[in-house]
Structure 1
Amino acid sequence: SGTSMDKPGPPVFNYGVTLPILLHGDAAFSGQGIVAETLNFSRIPGYRTGGTIHVIANNQLGYTTNPGESRSTLYASDMAKGFEIPIVHVNADDPEACIEAARLAMAYRTKFRKDFLIDLVGYRRYGHNEGDEPTFTQPLMYQAIEQHSTVREIWANTLVQRAVVQAGEPEQMVSRRMEHLQHELEALKAEEAMVEPIPEPPPPGAARRVKTAVPAERLRRLNQALLQVPENFALHRKLERAMQKRQKALENMDEATVDWAMAEEFAFATILEDGIPIRLTGQDVERGTFSHRHATFHDVKNGNRFTALQSIPQAKAAFEVRNSPLSEEAAVGFEYGYNVQEPGRLVIWEAQYGDFINGAQNIIDEFLASARSKWGQTPSLVLLLPHGYEGAGPDHSTGRLERFLALAEETNMRIANCTTSAQYFHLLRRQAGLLRIDPLPLIVMTPKSLLRHQRVHSTLRDLSEGNFLPIIDDAWTAGRPDAVRRIILCSGKIYVDLISSELREQNAAIAIVRVEQLYPFRFELLQPIFDQYTRCEEVIWVQEEPENMGAWPYLQPRLKEFLNGRALLHYVGRRGNASPAEGSAAWHTIKQNEIIRQAFNLESHREINERARKYKLVEK
């Protein structure tokens, strides 16, 4: 709110449009890490609000925990000192002092456009809630509270002493108000009045009807516009060579020259040309963790910056790209709030590595996954999570696909793991086309080593004439379906490993079918694929992740029900493990190669299982 993005170029933020007020608990302010992460946003471009007024509702307790047990500082507010935020401690029993503190906060915020904190020091009269018994743990404190007049009583006595009201008048006012509230409560029909708002369901088949193909000539014009840089702008020589190569990349309609980053940039450019603003944030997103995006160029002589997507003449809306602090929980929380506030914008957050989404699990569980059923909200936030097993160890391998699938229910999100740049292009354009009619969060397991892999590259024709395919059949076996005895189902990087193997052409009896959209799973699209392979005897799900992770725990019962005994269902992949990946690159390579060998092995299952035990894999 307050950010204008209806014109091309960078966004324009008006600090005077909103007044952010953030309420904290005293124990939470010092104890919860997301508070420090959020305070760190206060002066960062793309996140600063022009001054947030923070209010600590200071009860001098954290449930049953005393201040000395919950923080190392004298005051609950002391952490704000590190961010040079002015702090006022005020007695909650003194309404006039509280009003003056609020006026001071507003005046400071108006003049300096910076945060201000009010530490409202009070107490909890009834403990943590009305059913709590606080004297179990703070007997002396609550003896004092029991003898202490309430804020209302103190203020009423003050008004009587000042002759503002007559003696007894405050009690009469309270009595009248309580009678009115009691009357309203008794007249209330809870089963009718307390019904939670439910968002209107989207029109059936909305996602399937979105047109994502873009004419070739339009893409060629955008490509030329994206390659323009300001006069005398000194590009890095490596980037200069890459841009020269792109000049002729789209000459041949059927040559696979469109890599992942190019497809993404084309998707963004066409979305901007359609008049939809884009906000892209995350850890190192301007360059991209793997040096693939380069959304912002840096002049090697003077350090000046240039963002092509903010300068193309075809754009009808603003483009914003921001490197975020090294934060997940606060950053994803910020983008969720931004997205809910501005549903007509394509809001994207990218993790440095998919594994780091762990740090935002609270936001995923509390808001993103349960937005519709719990909050009546319809977010469309996109999460890009670099995912794939490449020997980088257990902290740089997985976007935790299994956790999102475990949360997937009631069509509350879309989850994809694309195998080509064109699929990613169409997926982003589909998401933009659904912002108003069928908004859902989009979780994308994005590649790392495959960003520049030739097998992932697409043609101009794929972008100009294709569309997003939730499930893709094996083109290699399409002309001879009767020869197929085994169907391999897989998703993402493991597909490229399978088709790149020398074993691929030695096994004409095996079809490899890609699942590009894991949720909602489109079984109605899988049905005709299975129907054509009339002699298929078994279906194997192949994945890189351990058996208790990845897509298998979610898909196994659903695939079993789908097959209904028509073919055997097996799993090939790593055994279940508490750690998502090996810590040794050499051991990773051994296991990865063995997964591929087992996937193509048509021997008896007993022989396969013996070898699986040797390599700590599993085939069931």
Structure 2
Amino acid sequence: ADKLVEEGAISAEGAGKMADDAYGVVAAAHTELKESMAGPPETGAHEIDRTMSREPKTTLPEDLLRSLNEQLVRVPGGFHVHRKLKPFLEKRREALDGGPVDWAHAEALAFASLLALGVPVRLTGQDTERGTFSQRHLVMHDAVGSEGGAAPLDSPSRAYCPLQNLHSAVSPFELHNSPLSEQACLGFEYGYSVQDTDALVLWEAQFGDFVNSAQVIIDQFLTSGLAKWGQTSRLTLLLPHGYEGSGPEHSSGRLERFLQACAEGNMRVANVTTPAQYFHLLRRQALVSKPRPLVVMTPKSLLRLPAASSTLDELWGGAFQRVIDDPSLPGPREEVKKLVLCSGKVFYDIVAHEEREQARHIAVARVEMLYPFPEGELKELLASYENLELVVWVQEEPRNMGARAFMRRRMAAILPESLHYFYVGRQLRASPGEGYAAAHRKEQSRIVRVALDLEDDRLEPDLSSQRPFL
């Protein structure tokens, strides 16, 4: 203050008044605190609301979805789309006539539908505008400059974001690339989402593995804020996860760490397997009455896998499914003796195996929402196979990672006494992945073959997952 007075920025009287006002605010807060502490002692514990939220409607009119799709592929007059993005936009137009809808397309439609409904959407992350895997392209750049040459990529006047120019939108869409400083970025987005609980705020890691640099924010705020302060949000983490041989630093979003922290209805954890499921999950997260953080293990290789695509019909007429039964059983349900439960990409590895059709005694089902645990849906699934003898949890991750431990304890409570329960996956490992492509392919093949009873499991049996030890 003396320095400011000396420089003539403020007067001595003004500085004194500002100091008195500040001390007055502190004194008033102190007085209020003492009065509250002088009241009667608390006689009961603060209860956390653990009840399930009412399921929101995530469908929308077909004509609205078609209109939003048209707006997403439209560009301003005189704007030159890059030649490599023309097939990208054309594919989205073809979806109106029954063509496939991929993950990025379903995501854009989910965002657009929320903006049209009045829900603000904020998406930030590492290379988020384009997408780590060049799948998103939410911002397009004019390929021709004002003088006929290539346009500079940092020219705002030559960039166009369809989601920020929807005539159907009644809420804003924010999109920002964030630096590789996960703790700072996630801390900011958490604070933003706490202050604006009506907005859908999302942060995406370049690879799910990178979220470990924000572990302090996750532990201190995201997973425990509800229990400590009654504070929660709709903050959604998008963590690319899946074993494709990219090594231990680009394979795992550390699903096990989030599941270990799940308790008292504090958050939601999902690993969905179709664009339609992703579409309904995002809309559900924005519209469900009770705000809670959501952690999504998002795909990498599935982004362009033809088998992992959806249609517009599944978007406007479908709904989110916590558990998905086998959609293509090779035989009648009465022949099924073994139920394979899995989550995420490994489902497609199993069903795409050349000998899958011969395994008529096996059904392969997916757990899409891991927490809150879908107990009712799994009970119905088990009861639907009247001759079932064995349930197996199959995962790509090592035995001490992934959802194995989480599922083992919860399945123990709902499995009928007549059923056996086993695990198929990688052995105990200190590192998430092998780091060698050949070793990865060999291990991945073994997991799939064991799941389909094409070879015996050579790993040491996991005694902790067998019923006598549950």
What TM-score does the superposition give when structure 2 sets the normalisation length?
A: 0.87
Amino acid at match of 1:548: N
Residue 613 of structure 1 and its aligned partner are, at CA, apart by: 5.8
CA deviations 1:583-604 (Å, max 9, x no partner) are 101100000000000000177x
Match of 1:374 among 216, 219, 228: 228
1:507 aligns with 2:365: no
2: distance between equivalents of 1:278 and 1:182?
37
The aligned residue for residue 215 of structure 2 is 361
Check 1:535–1:273 CA distance in 2 against 1; reply closer, same or farther (3 A cut): same
1:226 aligns with 2:72: yes
Residue 389 of structure 1 and its aligned partner are, at CA, apart by: 0.3
2: distance between equivalents of 1:569 and 1:420?
27
Amino acid at match of 1:571: Y
Spell out the pairing of 1:132-151 with structure 2 (5 A cutoff).
none
1:251 aligns with 2:109: no
Q: Is the 8 A contact 1:503 1:597 kept in 2?
A: no
The aligned residue for residue 311 of structure 1 is 165
Q: Is the 8 A contact 1:572 1:619 kept in 2?
A: no
Q: Is the 8 A contact 1:380 1:440 kept in 2?
A: yes
User: Tell me, what secondary structure is at the counterpart of 2:130?
Assistant: coil
The aligned residue for residue 84 of structure 2 is 238
Q: Is the 8 A contact 1:387 1:445 kept in 2?
A: yes
Residue 243 of structure 1 and its aligned partner are, at CA, apart by: 1.1
1:408 aligns with 2:262: yes
1:291 aligns with 2:134: yes
Residue 293 of structure 1 and its aligned partner are, at CA, apart by: 0.4
User: Tell me, what secondary structure is at the counterpart of 2:459?
Assistant: helix
Match of 1:191 among 25, 38, 42: 42
1: distance between equivalents of 2:94 and 2:88?
11
Amino acid at match of 1:249: A
The aligned residue for residue 272 of structure 1 is 115
User: Tell me, what secondary structure is at the counterpart of 1:289?
Assistant: coil
The aligned residue for residue 325 of structure 1 is 179
User: Tell me, what secondary structure is at the counterpart of 1:329?
Assistant: helix
Q: Is the 8 A contact 1:207 1:430 kept in 2?
A: no
1:438 aligns with 2:290: yes
Check 1:567–1:227 CA distance in 2 against 1; reply closer, same or farther (3 A cut): same
Residue 186 of structure 1 and its aligned partner are, at CA, apart by: 9.0
Q: Is the 8 A contact 2:343 2:367 kept in 1?
A: yes
User: Tell me, what secondary structure is at the counterpart of 2:115?
Assistant: helix
Residue 327 of structure 1 and its aligned partner are, at CA, apart by: 1.1
User: Tell me, what secondary structure is at the counterpart of 2:94?
Assistant: coil
Amino acid at match of 2:342: C
Match of 1:397 among 236, 251, 270: 251
Residue 475 of structure 1 and its aligned partner are, at CA, apart by: 2.3
CA deviations 1:260-296 (Å, max 9, x no partner) are 0100011001000001110000000000000000011
The aligned residue for residue 591 of structure 1 is 443
1:572 aligns with 2:424: yes
Check 1:479–1:601 CA distance in 2 against 1; reply closer, same or farther (3 A cut): closer
1:498 aligns with 2:350: yes
Q: Is the 8 A contact 1:612 1:619 kept in 2?
A: no
The aligned residue for residue 424 of structure 1 is 278
The aligned residue for residue 327 of structure 2 is 475
CA deviations 1:75-105 (Å, max 9, x no partner) are xxxxxxxxxxxxxxxxxxxxx659979x979
Amino acid at match of 2:137: H
1:528 aligns with 2:374: no
User: Tell me, what secondary structure is at the counterpart of 1:250?
Assistant: helix
CA deviations 1:469-525 (Å, max 9, x no partner) are 000111223972210010000000000111111121110100011000000011111
2: distance between equivalents of 1:522 and 1:599?
22
1:487 aligns with 2:339: yes
Amino acid at match of 1:601: D
Amino acid at match of 1:306: Y
Residue 185 of structure 1 and its aligned partner are, at CA, apart by: 9.4
CA deviations 1:226-274 (Å, max 9, x no partner) are 111111212210101221232222212xx5x000010001100100000
Amino acid at match of 1:492: G
1: distance between equivalents of 2:9 and 2:59?
55
1: distance between equivalents of 2:287 and 2:341?
29
Check 1:594–1:188 CA distance in 2 against 1; reply closer, same or farther (3 A cut): same
Match of 2:308 among 433, 456, 480: 456
1: distance between equivalents of 2:76 and 2:312?
27
Amino acid at match of 1:520: P
2: distance between equivalents of 1:456 and 1:429?
20
User: Tell me, what secondary structure is at the counterpart of 2:358?
Assistant: coil
Check 1:98–1:431 CA distance in 2 against 1; reply closer, same or farther (3 A cut): farther
1: distance between equivalents of 2:32 and 2:195?
33
The aligned residue for residue 129 of structure 1 is none
1: distance between equivalents of 2:395 and 2:279?
24
The aligned residue for residue 27 of structure 1 is none
Check 1:494–1:619 CA distance in 2 against 1; reply closer, same or farther (3 A cut): farther
Check 1:423–1:478 CA distance in 2 against 1; reply closer, same or farther (3 A cut): farther
User: Tell me, what secondary structure is at the counterpart of 2:366?
Assistant: strand
The size of the alignment, in residue pairs, is 434
The aligned residue for residue 165 of structure 1 is none
Q: Is the 8 A contact 1:283 1:326 kept in 2?
A: yes
User: Tell me, what secondary structure is at the counterpart of 2:64?
Assistant: helix
Residue 189 of structure 1 and its aligned partner are, at CA, apart by: 3.7
The aligned residue for residue 61 of structure 2 is 215
Q: Is the 8 A contact 1:571 1:619 kept in 2?
A: yes
2: distance between equivalents of 1:205 and 1:382?
18
Cα RMSD for the two superposed structures: 2.7
2: distance between equivalents of 1:186 and 1:241?
66
Check 1:181–1:207 CA distance in 2 against 1; reply closer, same or farther (3 A cut): closer
Q: Is the 8 A contact 2:331 2:361 kept in 1?
A: no
Check 1:211–1:497 CA distance in 2 against 1; reply closer, same or farther (3 A cut): same
2: distance between equivalents of 1:231 and 1:220?
21
Amino acid at match of 2:221: F
Q: Is the 8 A contact 1:196 1:376 kept in 2?
A: no
Q: Is the 8 A contact 1:198 1:372 kept in 2?
A: no
2: distance between equivalents of 1:494 and 1:325?
31
Amino acid at match of 1:251: D
Match of 1:544 among 396, 402, 406: 396
User: Tell me, what secondary structure is at the counterpart of 1:335?
Assistant: helix
Check 1:314–1:506 CA distance in 2 against 1; reply closer, same or farther (3 A cut): same
Q: Percent identity?
A: 48
Check 1:479–1:586 CA distance in 2 against 1; reply closer, same or farther (3 A cut): closer
User: Tell me, what secondary structure is at the counterpart of 1:388?
Assistant: coil
Q: Is the 8 A contact 1:310 1:319 kept in 2?
A: yes
Residue 207 of structure 1 and its aligned partner are, at CA, apart by: 4.2
Amino acid at match of 2:333: P
Gaps of 5+ in 1: 1-95, 106-176
2: distance between equivalents of 1:339 and 1:462?
29
